[in-house]
Structure 1
């Protein structure tokens, strides 16, 4: 899959029954070069004009083809690097690249040609897993909670206390609340890394704040932070979801590079913590996944805000892989799709009933050769 951070393609191997059995295998990230990241970013701008899922204005058609072929190449390289026979892969879960998400219009668009991917890989591919949820009145996001529930059942005994919240800090952050008894509660919680990364790319020409070095030199601009944290989004009922552009990047005159960077880290953490008002009970454990878990300021703000009665830990501390989790989730969801099991619930996306989804693409059989 390729996430909202536009940083590359995540590939992961999973052995699963789509239910309780989850055996995690190797995983790799294949980064995009800067030029292709810029093409994707331009594609996001072009996508703002779209009103139908099947539209491909401007360069979107060629971009979708290249994106798909890059995913095929990443899978092929991954299998070769791991010495895995492609014939042993039962199914590939393919997310593609979200370029537009407008749940209020029942419109979500992910670039990625599942049929082309299946033909290139010679393996079945499940793709387009969000659309059916929207047809059932859902937000189309988040979809990872089904996998979070499976992981929660396998977390270390050291962190056995419930409720537990999985937090994914990608371009947009989302949370999954699990109490071990009821369906997951999940929703997008607010801006994650997207504002921070866009600010740094525009103002400093760098992709992200390596080891939190820039934020460590700055202070929190309360007025700027409050402008984000008092947005109408936070008053909306859950479930709810976001598009990458629902929160605007600070203006060039908003403050120094360091202060704005530190402030956006604070906003990311506080947006996550504000999600707790929608949970039935106060979480005892927060498991942080996604790129944001590497930022010291974000993690420190989360730990301070969660309070002394809750643990805030990285995915790795819980025995998981915070980089691979979403790619693993798409493999898990692909198997659930094949079995017709729910990918979403009313408590995760607002769909009317527990809903499966996805489209299965099967490669054409190889031609037979006969000798006379």
Structure 2
């Protein structure tokens, strides 16, 4: 089947788009990928919506700013798909299904509550193609973490690459997550901690920029070891996997008094330290780490990871994958798996009681 995957991650900078030919178990072809950026006004609405979402107890409710934000998310994804199809000369009829993750605004699996805004039914009508959405709800309702989801697809995407096992795939978006692929195919996954979210929030408040491009500001700073030590006392790091996080689970106020370069250096070191902490919870030390997401474009963070992990660390692009499109590619494959009733989550990836399918199908 020919599927489009759409992903707007916890950094809420924009929408990634990827085309994949797949049966859900193997990838026949990875097609082109694309990106649609949220503008500053849209990002401001999404940020406010995430703050307001903290009060939600009903995952279907859209009070206040959340209704506006959902319309923005749906519209941005429609534009992302339409622009992508036009750019690559692909007709809508060629697309069998679209995997639409939406935008996570609240994730509290301990309360069996996860909220992704974005109207899958409206997107299906607008594009005129079937859309699979609401991927996390079934897993959370069954007692799983509902996250991370992409790990199910990481073995599929890396199957034909000459990579050692055990292998770790590390996605560094707003929140970090790791997938451990064992020598015998064992699959373990969980969120490691904050990745770019705390750094992005600090630089946005101080400069208005969306992120520290190339980690340049952080590279000029000095790590405050006392602040780092305090950040690492969060009880999340002591929990056994599988486990997952809300984007706003961590408080970085301990770095507020630091000048921007030192704050960014300290927060990058925090991300690297959380990954090292996660590595200690894996069954074996990975022979290699593959890094994807926005963090893969931060040389300061990559250097810190190499220093702490003591293993080979490469970006997804360096091994023949797309660091930017990996999550969107995953949701293309997940959409096909949902249509076929195949598992999207496993006990080792989300703590689900059994391998579980999920997703909701919207027809145009």
- Length-normalised TM-score, structure 2: 0.96
2:134 aligned with 1:128:
yes
Asked if the contact 2:216/2:300 (under 8 Å) is kept, the reply is no
SS at match of 1:181: coil
State the partner residue of 1:73: 79
2:201 aligned with 1:195:
no
Taking the aligned partners of 1:253 and 1:322, their CA distance within structure 2 comes to 31
Alignment of 1:162-173 (within 5 A): 162-173=165-176
SS at match of 2:56: coil
Superposed CA deviations along residues 188-244 of structure 1, whole A, max 9, x for unmatched, are: 000000000001111232211112211121111011111111210000111000001
Identify unmatched segments of 5+ residues in structure 1: 364-372
State the partner residue of 1:55: 61
Asked if the contact 1:273/1:305 (under 8 Å) is kept, the reply is yes
Asked if the contact 2:99/2:332 (under 8 Å) is kept, the reply is yes
State the partner residue of 1:283: 286
With 141-150 and 253-262 compared, the bigger mean Cα shift is at 253-262
Asked if the contact 1:44/1:99 (under 8 Å) is kept, the reply is yes
Superposed CA deviations along residues 61-97 of structure 1, whole A, max 9, x for unmatched, are: 2321232122111101100000001100000000000
Taking the aligned partners of 1:273 and 1:246, their CA distance within structure 2 comes to 19
Displacement of 1:251: 5.3
With 241-250 and 331-340 compared, the bigger mean Cα shift is at 241-250
Distance 1:242 1:150, change over 3 A: same
Match of 1:234 among 229, 232, 237: 237
Taking the aligned partners of 1:270 and 1:90, their CA distance within structure 2 comes to 42
State the partner residue of 2:348: 347
Q: CA RMSD in A?
A: 1.1
2:116 aligned with 1:110:
yes
2:200 aligned with 1:216:
no
Match of 1:88 among 89, 94, 110: 94
State the partner residue of 1:295: 298
SS at match of 1:110: strand
State the partner residue of 2:158: 152
State the partner residue of 1:336: 337
Taking the aligned partners of 2:197 and 2:285, their CA distance within structure 1 comes to 27
Taking the aligned partners of 2:201 and 2:97, their CA distance within structure 1 comes to 35
Displacement of 1:21: 2.8
Taking the aligned partners of 1:201 and 1:248, their CA distance within structure 2 comes to 16
Taking the aligned partners of 2:221 and 2:120, their CA distance within structure 1 comes to 45
Over alpha carbons, which structure has the higher Rg? Answer: 1
Taking the aligned partners of 2:47 and 2:56, their CA distance within structure 1 comes to 15
Match of 1:5 among 5, 11, 35: 11
Asked if the contact 2:174/2:194 (under 8 Å) is kept, the reply is yes
Displacement of 1:182: 3.6
Taking the aligned partners of 1:66 and 1:197, their CA distance within structure 2 comes to 21
Distance 1:253 1:182, change over 3 A: closer
Displacement of 1:5: 0.3
- Length-normalised TM-score, structure 1: 0.94
Displacement of 1:22: 4.0
